[in-house]
A and B are shown apart, each in its own frame.
Chain A
Amino acid sequence: MLTYLAKRLLMTVPTLLGAAVLIFFMLRVVPGDVVEVKLRGDGASITQAVIDAERSRLGLDKPLPEQFASWIVGLGKLDPGLSMWTGKPVVDEMKIRLPLSIQVAVMGALIATLLAVPMGTLSALYRDSPVDYLLRIFSLVGLAVPAFWFGMVIILLLLWLFNWLPPVVYTPFFVDPVANLSQLIWPALVVGIRYAAVVARMVRSSVIEVMKEDYIRTARAKGLAEKVIIVRHAMKNAMLPAITVIGLEFAFLMGGLVVTEQVFNLNGIGQLFVQAVAHRDFVLVQNIVMFIAAVFVFTNLAVDLLYAAFDPRIRYR
């Protein structure tokens, strides 16, 4: 087990390094740079001398490999650098926004799990019945409705029907739980419903698979009550693939947050990313992407380890 863990951990290094190289050089090909946006974006009359001075100050005139090296070295020292847009440390900019995104993600995952597990199980147990069809259509709709449209509609309905808007400023949960939840429940719902759709389908097929297994037949032959069979034997084993999907989709959630935070105007990592790309704030974009990539890679790793822990065959590959 330990060698498996070590091997997998080692493999994350070239992946992450590759992602770093990829994002760094992709960004440098993007036309436009942060200085022009900052200083001329609003139509102000700024001289070329000022533009050049700022470019030099940000180190944008240094050769690319040098810029890359200083970034990577900085990462090694746990110093991702300064945002090119505000000049503040990337760590500070991200620290402010991370709690919100994580909270929405966790709430979304909770909603998803609470919805999807019962839905998927019911769907599997009453396969091909009207209940099954209904739930399958529900999850397909959940997958099909674009998140940004769903969010837009929610806000507009709230405004129209109740003349009420979620709070615009983020308050941490422990400071004011009511304000916090009344702001974040809506994006969590939007994110969670899509998440639920994916997980429900997985749960359904996983439970179906498990119910076909021999040991379930044996349990039935032994005369165990159906409920006991389902809860004690089937669910336990069906949950493993479901958990892996929950875990993997959590990482995918990061992508969904990009659009959802835009619609709900949340000061989270997703919105920071979109703004940073618009601003051509290379340093910030690189670091956010690396962060997301790291989350992905380590979540995948955790899920694989979980699998390996439960399924010994995998370890000896």
Chain B
Amino acid sequence: MTLDATTIGMPARSRPRPGPWRKFVRFAATQPLGAAGLVTVLVMAIAGALAPYIAPYDPVAISFGDMLAPPSWEHPLGTDNFGRDILSRILYGARTAIIMGLVSALIGSTLGAIIGVASAYFGGVIDLMIQRVVDIFLSLPIIVLALVVVAMLGRNLVLGFDFNLILAISIPIVPNVARVVRSSALSIREMAYIDSARVAGYSTRRIIFRHMAPNLMAPYLIMLTAFIAQAILLEASLSFLGLGVTEPSPAWGLMLAGNAVDFYRQAPWMIIFPGVAISLAVFSFNLLGDSLRDWLDPKSRLR
């Protein structure tokens, strides 16, 4: 919803809110690219979620008789060097990618947002200390940090997903989000209605959750989509390096790792499809994020 002179100061709940379908239609109309991105993402997510039902084969079933088969009716995307159906592995891989990407980005962004808001709200020494720590983590490139954390934590399967890997991917996200949210929160904090809320005696919790947070939703959502894309890419890169998802779990990066490259002449489909899948997923989330930013950012509407 828009933040303008008429709506600032009103508690979040009493503003008129259009229904979700209306919002989506408006979004699609003004941001066609973003809508396309959203649809693609949803398709991937649903495909991934339904993978156990729609995948034609078991993604880890080895079939030595069927190795390196080109795309055909039986195997629409071909098979790999173990005779595993690539389409099924891509579908299950979508599940892995989107869930790991989503959960890591959610954990990282939420934690980062909380830290950012707290830092901005309390200010003073607390802010300084938190900022120092954030800076320390920010001084390390994402993949370097993730790599070391992965090496530290080993594997920990929860509901079939490596939770330690999720943690490793979310950790570098936290400081990035914290920094951005902090600067947004700082600018909100300076606004008059926060002061008046404080003077009126509202508790800290109430101010943060009912007044500041709703206005931080925009940067938060934008960062979230951007980091889901980053997380998917990071997980693929780590799996490629052999440090992320491990055999026999299907994951797009893993499908490209190891000696998959050796089969590029006999079975180029082994290399093409996983790469396209990763690119498509990241592309769609970025598209969505970009369009969200254009749509939610009030400044850009003053055209």
Q: Which residues of A contact B (CB under 8 A)?
A: 11, 14-16, 18-19, 22-23, 26-27, 29-31, 133, 136, 140-141, 143-149, 152-153, 156, 160, 251-252, 254-256, 258-259, 262, 273-274, 277, 285, 289, 292-293, 296-297
Q: Is the CB of A148 within 8 A of B152?
A: no
Q: Contacts A144-B279, A289-B144, A296-B140 given: A156-B261 contact, CB under 8 Å?
A: yes
Which residues of chain A come closer than 8 Å to B229, judged between CB atoms?
143-144
Which residues of chain A come closer than 8 Å to B271, judged between CB atoms?
149, 152-153, 156
Q: Is the CB of B148 within 8 A of A27?
A: yes
Q: Is the CB of B283 within 8 A of A144?
A: yes
- Secondary structure at the A interface, as helix, strand, loop or mixed, is helix
B142 shortest CB reach to chain A, Å: 6
Which residues of chain B come closer than 8 Å to A254, judged between CB atoms?
141, 144
Which residues of chain A come closer than 8 Å to B279, judged between CB atoms?
141, 144-146, 149
A302 shortest CB reach to chain B, Å: 14
A-B interface contact total, Cβ < 8 Å: 129
Q: Is the CB of A147 within 8 A of B237?
A: yes
Which residues of chain B come closer than 8 Å to A160, judged between CB atoms?
264-265
Q: Is the CB of A259 within 8 A of B141?
A: no
Which residues of chain A come closer than 8 Å to B147, judged between CB atoms?
258, 273-274, 277
Q: Is B287 an interface position by the 8 A CB rule?
A: yes
Q: Is the CB of A26 within 8 A of B148?
A: yes
Q: Contacts A15-B135, A153-B275 given: A262-B151 contact, CB under 8 Å?
A: no
Cβ contacts A to B, 25 pairs, < 8 Å: A19-B139, A23-B148, A30-B152, A140-B287, A143-B229, A143-B283, A144-B233, A144-B279, A144-B280, A146-B282, A148-B237, A148-B240, A149-B275, A149-B278, A152-B275, A156-B268, A254-B141, A258-B144, A259-B241, A292-B139, A292-B140, A292-B141, A292-B144, A296-B141, A297-B135
Which residues of chain B come closer than 8 Å to A18, judged between CB atoms?
132-133, 135-136
Q: Contacting B152 at CB < 8 Å: which of A19, A29, A152, A256? A: A29
Q: Which of A15, A26, A273 has the most CB atoms of chain B within a 10 A radius of its CB?
A: A15
A101 shortest CB reach to chain B, Å: 13
Interface residues of B, count at CB 8 A: 43
Q: Contacting B241 at CB < 8 Å: which of A15, A255, A262? A: A262
Which residues of chain A come closer than 8 Å to B268, judged between CB atoms?
156
User: For the complex, what is the distance from the CA of A219 to the CA of B268, rounded to whole Å?
Assistant: 56
User: For the complex, what is the distance from the CA of A41 to the CA of B135, rounded to whole Å?
Assistant: 37
Q: Is B154 an interface position by the 8 A CB rule?
A: yes
User: For the complex, what is the distance from the CA of A255 to the CA of B139, rounded to whole Å?
Assistant: 11
Encoded as 1 (CB less than 8 Å from any A CB) or 0, chain B from 211 to 254 comes to: 00000000000000000010001001100110000000000010
User: Considering only CB atoms, which chain B residue lies closest to A258 in the complex?
Assistant: B143
Q: Contacting A274 at CB < 8 Å: which of B136, B241, B274? A: B241
User: Considering only CB atoms, which chain B residue lies closest to A28 in the complex?
Assistant: B152
Which residues of chain A come closer than 8 Å to B236, judged between CB atoms?
146, 148
Encoded as 1 (CB less than 8 Å from any A CB) or 0, chain B from 116 to 148 comes to: 000000000000000011011111111110011
Q: Contacts A18-B136, A22-B136, A153-B275 given: A255-B286 contact, CB under 8 Å?
A: no
User: For the complex, what is the distance from the CA of A252 to the CA of B147, rounded to whole Å?
Assistant: 15
Which residues of chain B come closer than 8 Å to A140, judged between CB atoms?
283, 286-287, 290
Q: Which of A19, A149, A156, A296 has the most CB atoms of chain B within a 10 A radius of its CB?
A: A149
User: For the complex, what is the distance from the CA of A289 to the CA of B147, rounded to whole Å?
Assistant: 11
Extra inter-chain contacts (19) besides given A146-B233, A258-B144, CB under 8 Å:
A19-B139, A19-B140, A143-B282, A144-B229, A144-B286, A145-B279, A146-B237, A146-B275, A146-B279, A148-B240, A149-B271, A149-B275, A153-B271, A156-B261, A254-B141, A255-B143, A258-B143, A258-B147, A274-B241
Q: Contacts A140-B290, A148-B237, A259-B143 given: A296-B154 contact, CB under 8 Å?
A: no
